[in-house]
Amino acid sequence: MSTVASLSSPQRAFPIGAPILELNSISLRFGGVKALTDISFNVLEHEVRAIIGPNGAGKSSMLNVINGVYVPQEGSIAFRGERLTGVGMTPTRAAHLGIARTFQNIALYRGMSVLDNIMAGRNLRMHASFLEVALQLPRARREESEHREKAEEIIEFLEIEHIRKTPVKRLPYGLQKRVELGRALAAEPKILLLDEPMAGMNIEEKQDMCRFILDVNDHYGTTVVLIEHDMGVVMDLSDRVVVLDYGKKIGDGPPDEVRANPDVINAYLGVAH
Amino acid sequence: MVVEEPEPDTFPKLLLRHSKLRGGRPALREKSRGIWRTMTWRDLADEVAALAGALSAQGLQRGAHVALVGDNRPRLYAAMCAAQWLGAVAVPLYQDAVADEMVSSMQKAEITHVFAENQEQVDKLLELLPRCPTIRCIVYDEDRGMRHYKQPQLVSYDTLLQQGREFAGSKREFLQAEAERGTGQDVAFLFFTSGTTGPAKGVVLTHASLIDRARVAAASEGLKDTDVAMAYLPPGWIGQNLFSYVQPMVVGYCVCCPESSETMLADMREMGPTYFLAPPRVLEALLAQVSMRMEDAGGINRALYERCMALARRVGARILSGETVPLGDRLAYAVGELLIYGPLRDVLGMSKVRVAYTAGDAVDRDLLMFFRALGVNLKQLYGSTETGFFVAMQRDGQVKPDTVGPAAQGVELKFTPQQEILVRSPGLFKEYHRDPETTSRARNAEGWFHTGDAGYMDDDGHLRIIDRLANVGALNDGTLHAPKVLENKLKFLPYIKEAVVFGDGRDTVCVFVDIDGTAVGRWADRQNISYTGHADLASRDEVYALIADGIAEVNTGLALEPALAKSQIHRFVILPKELDADDGVLTRTGKLRRSVIAERYRLLVDGMYDGRASVRLDDATEVKVGEAKAAAPARRAA
CB B51 within 8 A of CB B82: yes
pLDDT at residue B636, rounded to an integer: 47
Query: In terms of domains, do A38 and A160 share one?
Result: no
Does residue B63 sit at the A interface (CB-CB below 8 Å)?
no
At B543, is the secondary structure helix, strand, or coil? helix
Pairing state of beta strands B137-140 and B111-116? parallel
| CB within 8 Å: B147 and A164 | no
Q: Is residue B538 part of a domain?
A: yes
Does residue B3 sit at the A interface (CB-CB below 8 Å)?
no
Task: Provide the pLDDT confidence category of residue B634 given band limits of 50, 70 and 90.
Answer: low
Q: Please name the residue of chain B whose CA is at the shortest distance from the CA of residue A115.
A: B34
Res B17 pLDDT > 60: yes
Q: Is residue A103 part of a domain?
A: no
Q: Is residue A89 part of a domain?
A: yes
DSSP per position, A223-242: EEEEE-S-HHHHHHH-SEEE
Q: Please name the residue of chain A whose CA is at the shortest distance from the CA of residue B148.
A: A11
pLDDT at residue B322, rounded to an integer: 85
User: Sign of torsion, CA B13 B19 B22 B27?
Assistant: positive
Q: Is residue B93 part of a domain?
A: yes
CA-to-CA dists, residue A59 to A72, A238, A249, angstroms: 14, 16, 10
CA B524 to chain A, closest CA, distance in angstroms equals 20
Which amino acid is located at B527 in the chain? Q
Res B460 pLDDT > 70: yes
Which amino acid is located at B85 in the chain? W
CA torsion angle B324 B330 B333 B334 (round to 10): 120
CB B359 within 8 A of CB B239: yes
Between CA B246 and CA B77 the distance in angstroms is 10
Write out the residue range of the structural domain in which residue A240 sits. Answer: 1-98+189-273
Minimal CA–CA distance to B241: which of B442, B107, B385?
B385
Q: Is residue A3 part of a domain?
A: yes
pLDDT at residue B448, rounded to an integer: 95
Among residues B206, B227, B246, which one ends one of the domains? Answer: B206
Query: In terms of domains, do A184 and A194 share one?
Result: no
Among residues B157, B172, B206, which one ends one of the domains? Answer: B206
Query: In terms of domains, do A216 and A158 share one?
Result: no
State the CATH number of the domain containing residue A269: 3.40.50.300
| CB within 8 Å: B34 and A164 | yes
The tens digit of pLDDT for each residue in A55-69 reads: 888 899 999 999 889
Which amino acid is located at A254 in the chain? P
**Which of A81-90, B307-316, B439-448, B568-577 is least confident?**
A81-90
Write out the residue range of the structural domain in which residue B18 sits. Answer: 11-206
The tens digit of pLDDT for each residue in B37-70 reads: 999 999 999 999 999 999 999 999 999 999 999 9
CB B99 within 8 A of CB B69: no
- Is the interface score ipTM higher than 0.85? no
Between CA A208 and CA A213 the distance in angstroms is 9
The tens digit of pLDDT for each residue in A112-150 reads: 999 999 999 988 888 878 888 888 888 888 888 899 999
Q: How many degrees, rounded to 5, is the angle at CA B98 between CA B623 and CA B231? A: 100
Among residues A158, A188, A218, which one ends one of the domains? Answer: A188
Task: Provide the pLDDT confidence category of residue B629 given band limits of 50, 70 and 90.
Answer: confident
Q: Give the number of domains in chain A.
A: 2
CA B267 to chain A, closest CA, distance in angstroms equals 10
Does residue B150 sit at the A interface (CB-CB below 8 Å)?
no
Q: Give the number of domains in chain B.
A: 2
CA A42 to chain B, closest CA, distance in angstroms equals 28
CB B36 within 8 A of CB B29: yes
Q: How many degrees, rounded to 5, is the angle at CA B534 between CA B532 and CA B540? A: 75
Q: Please name the residue of chain A whose CA is at the shortest distance from the CA of residue B263.
A: A162
Does residue B35 sit at the A interface (CB-CB below 8 Å)?
yes
The tens digit of pLDDT for each residue in B206-233 reads: 999 999 999 999 999 999 999 999 999 9
Q: A154, A156, A163, A219: which to substitute to probe chain B, counting the most B Cβ within 10 Å?
A: A156
Residues B445-455 have a mean pLDDT of 92
Query: In terms of domains, do A85 and A147 share one?
Result: no
Among residues B183, B206, B229, which one ends one of the domains? Answer: B206
Minimal CA–CA distance to A215: which of B144, B121, B123?
B144
**Which of A122-131, B19-28, B543-552 is least confident?**
A122-131
User: Global pTM?
Assistant: 0.85
- Percentage with pLDDT > 90 across chain B: 65
State the CATH number of the domain containing residue B619: 3.30.300.30
Contacts of A155 in chain B (CB under 8 A): 33-34
H/E segment holding residue B14: helix B11-21
Contacts of A172 in chain B (CB under 8 A): none
The tens digit of pLDDT for each residue in B131-178 reads: 999 999 999 999 888 888 889 999 999 999 999 998 877 888 999 999
| CB within 8 Å: B33 and A215 | no
Query: In terms of domains, do A27 and A82 share one?
Result: yes
The tens digit of pLDDT for each residue in B263-299 reads: 999 999 999 999 999 999 899 989 988 988 888 888 8
Between A162, A165, A219, which is nearest B260 by CB?
Answer: A162
Between CA B468 and CA A263 the distance in angstroms is 70
The tens digit of pLDDT for each residue in B567-585 reads: 899 999 999 989 988 888 8
Q: Is residue A258 part of a domain?
A: yes
Q: Please name the residue of chain B whose CA is at the shortest distance from the CA of residue A216.
A: B145
Query: In terms of domains, do A197 and A181 share one?
Result: no
Q: Please name the residue of chain A whose CA is at the shortest distance from the CA of residue B31.
A: A161
Pairing state of beta strands B626-627 and B569-574? antiparallel
CA atoms within 13 A on the CB side of A251: 27
Res B411 pLDDT > 80: yes
Query: In terms of domains, do A214 and A137 share one?
Result: no
Q: Is residue A91 part of a domain?
A: yes
B127 phi/psi in degrees, rounded to 5: -65, -40
Does residue B145 sit at the A interface (CB-CB below 8 Å)?
yes
Axis crossing angle, helix B11-21 with helix B207-221, rounded to the nearest 10 = 50
pLDDT at residue A83, rounded to an integer: 84
Query: In terms of domains, do A75 and A194 share one?
Result: yes
CA B96 to chain A, closest CA, distance in angstroms equals 18
Mean pLDDT, chain A, whole residue set: 87
Between A115, A157, A161, which is nearest B260 by CB?
Answer: A161
Q: Please name the residue of chain B whose CA is at the shortest distance from the CA of residue A159.
A: B260
Q: B30, B31, B32, B33: which to substitute to probe chain A, counting the most A Cβ within 10 Å?
A: B33
pLDDT at residue B637, rounded to an integer: 41
pLDDT at residue A86, rounded to an integer: 65
- Chain A residues whose C-beta sits inside 8 Å of any chain B C-beta: 11, 13, 115, 148-149, 152-153, 155-157, 159, 161-162, 164-165, 215, 218-219
Res B121 pLDDT > 80: yes
CA-to-CA dists, residue B452 to B327, B410, B423, B470, B499, angstroms: 46, 20, 11, 7, 22
Residue B202: strand pairing partners: B192
The tens digit of pLDDT for each residue in B110-119 reads: 999 999 999 9
pLDDT at residue A40, rounded to an integer: 94
Res A19 pLDDT > 90: yes
Contacts of B35 in chain A (CB under 8 A): 152
CB B392 within 8 A of CB B405: yes
Interface A–B counts its CB contacts (< 8 A) at: 32
Among residues A188, A208, A226, which one ends one of the domains? Answer: A188
Query: In terms of domains, do A88 and A201 share one?
Result: yes
pLDDT at residue B2, rounded to an integer: 55
Query: In terms of domains, do A74 and A114 share one?
Result: no
The tens digit of pLDDT for each residue in B473-518 reads: 888 988 888 898 889 889 888 899 999 999 998 999 999 999 998 8
Between CA B315 and CA B309 the distance in angstroms is 10
DSSP per position, B567-612: G-EEEEEE-SS---GGGTSB-TTS-B-HHHHHHHTHHHHHHHHHT-
CA A148 to chain B, closest CA, distance in angstroms equals 9
CA atoms within 13 A on the CB side of B51: 26
Task: Provide the pLDDT confidence category of residue A200 given band limits of 50, 70 and 90.
Answer: confident
- B15-25 burial string, b = 16+ CB within 10 Å, else e? bbbbbeeeeeb
Query: In terms of domains, do A4 and A88 share one?
Result: yes
| CB within 8 Å: B33 and A152 | yes
CA atoms within 13 A on the CB side of B245: 32
The residue count for chain A: 273
- Percentage with pLDDT > 70 across chain B: 98
Residue B499: strand pairing partners: B513
CB B538 within 8 A of CB B516: no
Residues A226-242 have a mean pLDDT of 87
Q: Please name the residue of chain A whose CA is at the shortest distance from the CA of residue B265.
A: A162
B333 phi/psi in degrees, rounded to 5: -65, -35
Contacts of A219 in chain B (CB under 8 A): 144
CA A155 to chain B, closest CA, distance in angstroms equals 7
Q: Is residue B356 part of a domain?
A: no
CA A152 to chain B, closest CA, distance in angstroms equals 5
| CB within 8 Å: B34 and A215 | no
Q: Please name the residue of chain A whose CA is at the shortest distance from the CA of residue B34.
A: A152
pLDDT at residue A8, rounded to an integer: 40
- Percentage with pLDDT > 90 across chain A: 49
Between CA B543 and CA B623 the distance in angstroms is 13
At B465, is the secondary structure helix, strand, or coil? strand
Residue A162: strand pairing partners: none
pLDDT at residue B633, rounded to an integer: 63
pLDDT at residue A1, rounded to an integer: 36
Query: In terms of domains, do A90 and A7 share one?
Result: yes
Beta strands in B145-186 (DSSP E): 154-156
Q: A161, A166, A217: which to substitute to probe chain B, counting the most B Cβ within 10 Å?
A: A161
Mean pLDDT, chain B, whole residue set: 91
Between A159, A161, A215, which is nearest B145 by CB?
Answer: A215
CA-to-CA dists, residue B267 to A199, B224, B252, B291, angstroms: 33, 22, 21, 21
CA torsion angle B408 B410 B416 B421 (round to 10): -40
pLDDT at residue B333, rounded to an integer: 93
| CB within 8 Å: B33 and A219 | no
- B363-374 burial string, b = 16+ CB within 10 Å, else e? bbbbbbbbbbbb
pLDDT at residue A270, rounded to an integer: 67
CA A272 to chain B, closest CA, distance in angstroms equals 39
Residues B406-425 have a mean pLDDT of 93
State the CATH number of the domain containing residue B166: 3.40.50.12780
Between CA A106 and CA A122 the distance in angstroms is 18
Contacts of B145 in chain A (CB under 8 A): 215, 218
CB B573 within 8 A of CB B79: no
Pairing state of beta strands A33-44 and A19-30? antiparallel
Res B194 pLDDT > 80: no
| CB within 8 Å: A218 and B147 | yes
Res B620 pLDDT > 90: no
Pairing state of beta strands B480-481 and B473-474? antiparallel
Task: Provide the pLDDT confidence category of residue B361 given band limits of 50, 70 and 90.
Answer: confident
Instruction: List strands edge to edge, sheet with B26-32.
Output: B35-40, B26-32, B254-257, B228-230
CB A191 within 8 A of CB A96: no
Does residue B33 sit at the A interface (CB-CB below 8 Å)?
yes
The tens digit of pLDDT for each residue in B68-81 reads: 999 999 999 999 99
Contacts of A157 in chain B (CB under 8 A): 144
Task: Provide the pLDDT confidence category of residue B3 given band limits of 50, 70 and 90.
Answer: low
Between CA B197 and CA A76 the distance in angstroms is 73
At B526, is the secondary structure helix, strand, or coil? helix
